[in-house]
Amino acid sequence: MSQLCLARLPYRRGNDSRAEGCTMTRSLSSPCVRHRVSTPNLRLLIGTVLSLLLVASCGLDRPAGGAGPRIVSVDDSVIGAALHQFDFSGGWTWSQGAGKFQQGDHYSGTTGDQYSIKFSGGRVALFGARAPWHGIAKVRLDGEERPDIDLYAPTRADQVELLSVHGLGGGTHELTVTVSGQKNPLSEDYIVTVDRIDVEGPISTATTGPSPSQGPSPSPTPGSEPTGQPADGIVRAAGTSLKLNGQTYRFTGVNAYELATYWDVNAGCGGQVNDLDAFFGSLRPNSMVRTWAFQDLATNKHTGKRDWTGIDRVVKAAERHGQRLILTIGNHWADCDQPKKGKEWYEDGYRAVQPGQPTSYWDYLREVVERYRSSPALGMWELLNEPEIACGSTPVLREFFDVAGGELKRLDPVHLLGSGVIGGTQCGLRDQDYVTVHQSPAIDVLSFHDYNRDDEALSSEVALRLQQMAKLGKPLVVGEAGIKAGSDAGCLSTARRAAKFEAKMTKQFSGGVSGFLVWNWIPGTEGCDYGISAGDPTLATIRDFNLGSGEVGAPPPTSAPSPTASATASPVSRAGPPMGFNHYNHFGNTINEGIVREIVDAMVRNGMREAGYVYVNIDDSWQGERDANGNIRTNSQFPSGIAALADYVHKRGMKLGIYTTPTAKTCAGRTGSEGHEKQDVQAFANWGVDYIKLDWCGADYSPDGAAAIARKWKEAIAASGRPMVLSINAGGTLHVPPWASEIVNLWRTGDDICSSWYNQTRDPDPASSCRGKQPAGIRDYLFNNTAGNAPFVGPGHWADPDMLEVGNKGLSFEEAKTHFSMWAMWSAPLLAGNDPRQMTGSDDASRILLNTEVIAVDQDPLSVMATKVRDDGGLQIWRKPLAGGGQAVALVNTRDEATTMTLSWRDLGWTSVSAVRDLWRHADLAPGGTGYTGSVPAHGTVMLRVAGS
């Protein structure tokens, strides 16, 4: 006979990733004897080790002298890959590779729901979740009642082992779990969440749904958590995407904080909107409107008592027009916003009644959630508008989200909770602090408020939040995007603002955001302001913007582009490192302005510009002498001057780059910038230069000295009034990236490149010009320290393994493909170094340089540098996380003969995948099995884009 012993242990908080617990064993002479044990490290998705309730089992009939106590704990390897193991289709599936039987992300049910599984074997284990809003489940095994499973915990913890039974006899067994009608004393509802069942033997049947005595489950109501992605009109999160009625949901919309203003009843905020039907009717269907539901708007200003008239008007109007609301809860405001809270308020002040308020924030939160949680217009909640906290107090803000957010989720486990934070560089929420707060299990949706420079469609801050979105595995919404416009002199026109919003939406939706809300709709505008009123072209822009379809980050269409069609394909997102041309690899110092103009025209004609190659960079060749005032002049190769050339480039929709050094002479002996740094940078700005390449050529290479030089140039660029990319070559050692990544946009990672496969490790190809020189061949880059730059690469700061050699003599077609593939995998700048005038659209250089699918990997907004998964005797596998949750993979054969290579999905942290695309063949591959196996040519690369399952 097999029996079960359950032990609930106190949780503990802290940085220690291992928690001590106890198991219980029975001897012949005493009851359970306690043993101190250490359970495996739990790398929970919430990032910080919070609480874990261990379940321990003991064999009641174990003979004396038998096996010692068995520790029942959570399998850490499962937790680490949990997001990638589950089948999100909502059906039960048998995962042969993992040896587990799983259903969806979770199987969740309400009172009376049950699931049943029949199996053969001697052991069964049930893994689930404990969370603040979960109740109690009743368990039966082979018809025998088992102890109830208490699913309540102060903080959500997934994959906790809830039950484990050993020593079952032969034959078929049945496990049934029913959602109990018995309340947990600390929970208001009766939800059970089951993540996984492990059994030793084969599965015969599995069923889910209401128990036979209960009849059909009711439609979703507050207090129930529906399974799968039903067509019930509720917005849900699925990884980094949102879902509505089972389909990917992206939205545009507006902030309209004053909608609940109703002067006859409440204190109001902003102007009263009399015709709410006209407002909601002007939006596209299924738009999202973010509006205040502060306590002052639910309080009668005459009596001081609760009065929902103002907010009710908004909710009912949204319901009539099929629109959705983000209801932002707050207490009261100053200048139409709740005052910024201090640490004390986030610790416990929110439980106290504020002057002039009927109740505390804590009690009001419960009231407002209970009132509107059943509304079909509800899209998601926010606890506060832009919650911020002082430096060093991030854990306090995280605790607030855990507790207050946990309470909201207990009351309404159906609808999403967004963070509502600004998400910029504010102290307490910058960098890793943003991750810490958003790891709260109560937060479903990340937030960012985009008030960055208007000319940045995808700022470095947004790109960083996209990177953190992928890390956290939660959707990201741009909750506010503001640009001032109006009729005042010097102010942006409303039409230009609409165009800038469209550019932002294009880049940010492409990067993976799920929603974009402009700030702010108001009944009337005046002057130069963020306000957007009826008739503003921005409203038409967000209404008509093409949100696309399908999963965010899905691979490109399956049809292979023709050599000419690729030149006119949709432009690649330029959120990543610079793309363009530099003449030095092909022309050296023989370049002149006539050739540059021809190359610019060729790049427009052959499709390079449309593919993303927009920078035209002049290397060491243009400098003449200085005049009496120290102003640098061009030489005879550029008689018209740089300003005229920049104008020529800009008129064709491209940008101009220039070269100099911090020394008196450049590497080619031309005039350098030593002693004239600010003067030269200001000249570059006046000429219209967009990119500065700063070569070292004997300057100080020490970390402190080189950093000081780079900082001087950065400050000079800032003072010039013109944004310019700053790219440096301060040596290729790993002493450079720690400081360079904080100062410049690009830094070199190694020796100058050469058009050869071998050079440093073996003699170069006779056709190349590399013999007897130091520069690195392509293979050398695959084995040098380039990969060591990965921790320092991100949006706005990239490692530069030098310019491209694609199209120059010395590389075979396969070697050139490997070269281009790895630069894309490394998020490196793609600066063509061939002669674009020779590209016809069907030549090898065109086939490689115009492969927009590979370019898209390079330009991915996360700007993650690929890391090497393994190297088996020169057979290398590299992986690169992408926005939207996918990954790019390169299988590189550095050997001198074709070789079969195998990629396991486990190399990517997944057990299965849902989509695989070959980026060089432009073909979708079957995603089945446990991995990919294929032949890779000598010195060649297979490059895949993979979506996990």
Q: Which uninterrupted H or E stretch holds 507?
A: helix 494-511
Sort residue 155 into left (φ over 0), alpha (ψ -120 to 50) or beta: beta
The DSSP code sequence of 255-302 is E-TTTT--TTTS---S---S-HHHHHHTSPTT-EEEEEEEGGGGB-TT
Q: Is 128 helix (H, G, I), strand (E, B) or coil?
A: strand
* Residues 907 and 879: beta-carbon distance below 8 Å: yes
Among the listed residues 655, 635, 638, 712, the one whose alpha carbon sits nearest the alpha carbon of residue 680: 712
The torsion angle over the Cα atoms of residues 304, 309, 314 and 319, rounded to 10 degrees, is 140
Sign of CA dihedral 405, 406, 407, 413: positive
Report the distance separating Cα 51 and Cα 881, nearest Å: 30
CA angle 551, 520, 543 (to 5 degrees): 45
Burial 881-896 (b: 16+ CB within 10 A, else e): bbbbbbbbbbbbbbee
Report the distance separating Cα 316 and Cα 338, nearest Å: 25
**Which positions are catalytic?**
695, 752
Report the distance separating Cα 465 and Cα 479, nearest Å: 13
Amino acid at 284: R
Measured in residues, the chain has a length of 949
Amino acid at 220: P
* Residues 547 and 285: beta-carbon distance below 8 Å: no
Q: Is 167 helix (H, G, I), strand (E, B) or coil?
A: coil
* Residues 387 and 341: beta-carbon distance below 8 Å: yes
Sort residue 343 into left (φ over 0), alpha (ψ -120 to 50) or beta: alpha
The DSSP letter of residue 560 is P
Report the distance separating Cα 437 and Cα 602, nearest Å: 50
Report the distance separating Cα 74 and Cα 49, nearest Å: 14
CA angle 632, 633, 638 (to 5 degrees): 145
* Residues 623 and 666: beta-carbon distance below 8 Å: yes
* Residue 737 CA neighbour count, 13 Å, CB half: 22
Task: Write the CA distances from 361 to 315, 355, 714, integer angstroms.
Answer: 21, 12, 47
Report the distance separating Cα 525 and Cα 167, nearest Å: 75
Report the distance separating Cα 877 and Cα 602, nearest Å: 36
Q: In what order do the strands lie in the sheet with 746-748?
A: 798-800, 746-748, 725-729, 691-695, 655-660, 615-617, 579-582, 830-832
* Residues 750 and 823: beta-carbon distance below 8 Å: no
Residues whose CB falls within 8 Å of the CB of residue 296, separated by 6 or more in sequence, listed in order: 266, 267, 269, 331, 332, 333, 357
